[in-house]
Amino acid sequence: MLWGASNPVQRKFSSDRSRARDARMADIGAERQTMAQAVTARLWNGRWLLAAGFVAVLAVYGFAGMSAYVVLAALALLLAAALLPSGSARHSAEDAAAIEASGLQRLSGEYLAAAVADPLIIFDRTATIVHANAAAFAAFGGIAPGMTLSLKFRAPEMQALLDGVLSGTVASDVVDYTEKLPVERAYRVSASSVGHATDLYVLVFKDQSEARRIDRMRADFIANASHELRTPLASISGFIETLRGPARGDPAARDQFLQIMQNQTGRMARLIDDLLSLSRLEMKPYLKPGTEVDLRQTIDSVIDSLGPLTRETGVVIERDFVEGPLDVPGDRDELFQVFENLLENACKYGQSGGRVTVSIARTETGPEAGIDVTIRDYGPGIPEEHIPRITERFYRVDVENSRTQKGTGLGLSIVKHILTRHNARLSIKSEVGKGAAFSVHLPAR
């Protein structure tokens, strides 16, 4: 398309640009006029000081024979003093209040509501919606001016909140409210009147969902940790009681019970070590590692350290590494812990497949260029419904099998936290009966 003077779009663009230029020039002229008025006012307020000073300078000049330069300098100082704001020129409290009122009058309630990040609804004495901001539309949907609030929010606590404010029993009130659809969200809702004699009221919804979720996670964590520690403690306590009683003179029973007690204390020690490790990681989630790590050498060391486990389970670890340097930014000890956890799980829970494959490949294209490390076993696999929750603390696909394999339920949680610190991610693919593949994507820089 050719853009010429005869084009109506071009003419409209030129007209808009001319109007914008004229508006800017008018603003500049107004600013200059305001500045001139301020200077004139200051000169007028200091007129007596300026006159008295001028007379004094003339008198001194006449009697003392000063030079013209000194007189000019004195006059310049007097003029500057006159321009300085005096006490009478400063805005009084009434002037400041008038300026504030003038500024607020230019603001509409709609603009103020739009500036609030939380859902906000303005309603009248009949509980009819007058206005709702964009956050309210996004959170609740299906609301519009003219709709009755009691029909939208039917929960008893919301009805009581509206009744209390509209009846004048309370000037403002706060309740907890849960929205079930489309997803469950928890809100702290406050209601209050707007201004004086406006017959308008406002509802503000403060989202508490994330805080509630963290509280539930903390409660679940304490309950699970207590349970995991109580079980071996109860077992050890029972065996000690047996050894002091019926099995006191039975060497065979004593050796068997002592072995079980040793296994249980080892389980508690592993659990405490994992808890401490997880706690340390959570205290520094944003501390990005700044050193280079050789993935080839790190994973070779992990495989060598798991030699006794592979001989015990009869699993063969196969390597499929790409050629060339495999360096990534990170902390070697933490990445060692990641791959040790993943490989140990693959050997324990996928031992029926007889082998585990560790592959390293580069992803050179796209904005997420880096290195992918995939650990694949050929065991029973993981049912699809368990995959989204498998990195949660103490979550187990098979509780009995996990305890038999001396698992604490915290390994994959530790893996997730370490990868988050490294700006990396973990993806899991599995099919029942065909094994599982855990892939770690590490950015190259």
Mean pLDDT per block of 10 residues along the chain (445 residues) reads: 39 45 53 53 48 50 51 56 50 60 59 84 91 88 86 89 87 87 85 84 90 78 75 84 83 86 84 79 64 89 88 88 85 89 88 87 74 90 85 74 67 86 88 89 82
Cis, peptide link before residue 182, omega less than 30° from 0: yes
3-class SS of residue 375? strand
**Which strands sit side by side in the sheet containing 316-321, from one edge to the other?**
316-321, 355-363, 370-377, 436-443, 425-430
Opening angle at CA 419, ends 418 and 420, nearest 5: 90
Q: Among positive and negative, which fits the CA dihedral 143, 144, 145, 151?
A: negative
Q: What is the pLDDT of residue 12?
A: 39
Quick one: how far is CA 15 from the chain centroid?
A: 46
Q: What is the pLDDT of residue 403?
A: 61
Q: What is the pLDDT of residue 199?
A: 85
Packing angle between helix 209-244 and helix 251-283, nearest 10 degrees?
A: 160
Q: How far is CA 299 from CA 304, 337, 339, in A?
A: 9, 10, 7
CA 287 to CA 281: how far, in whole Å? 9
Q: Which of 347, 342, 346 is nearest to 309 (CA)?
A: 347
Strand 355-363, strand 316-321: pairing: parallel
Opening angle at CA 144, ends 139 and 149, nearest 5: 80
Q: What is the pLDDT of residue 366?
A: 60
* Assessment of whether the complete model's pTM goes beyond 0.85: no
Instruction: Look up residue 391 and give its amino acid.
Output: T
Q: What is the pLDDT of residue 411?
A: 83
Q: What is the pLDDT of residue 70?
A: 53
CA 75 to CA 1: how far, in whole Å? 66
The answer to whether residues 291 and 421 touch, using CB atoms and an 8 Å cutoff, is no
The DSSP element (H or E) to which 19 belongs, if any, is: helix 8-45
Please give the structure tokens belonging to residue 204: 């503000």
Q: DSSP letters along 121-176, please?
A: EEEETTSBEEEE-HHHHHHH-S--TT-BHHHH---HHHHHHHHHHHTTS-SEEEEE
- Cα atoms found within 13 Å of the Cα of residue 358, Cβ hemisphere only: 22
Q: What is the pLDDT of residue 328?
A: 87
Q: Which domains does the chain carry?
A: 8-105 (no CATH), 109-207 (3.30.450.20), 217-283 (1.10.287.130), 292-443 (3.30.565.10)
Q: How far is CA 342 from CA 26, 102, 351, in A?
A: 70, 66, 13
What b-and-e string marks burial along 126-147, b requiring 16 or more CB atoms within 10 Å of the CB?
A: ebebbbbbebbeebbeebeeeb
Q: What is the pLDDT of residue 342?
A: 92
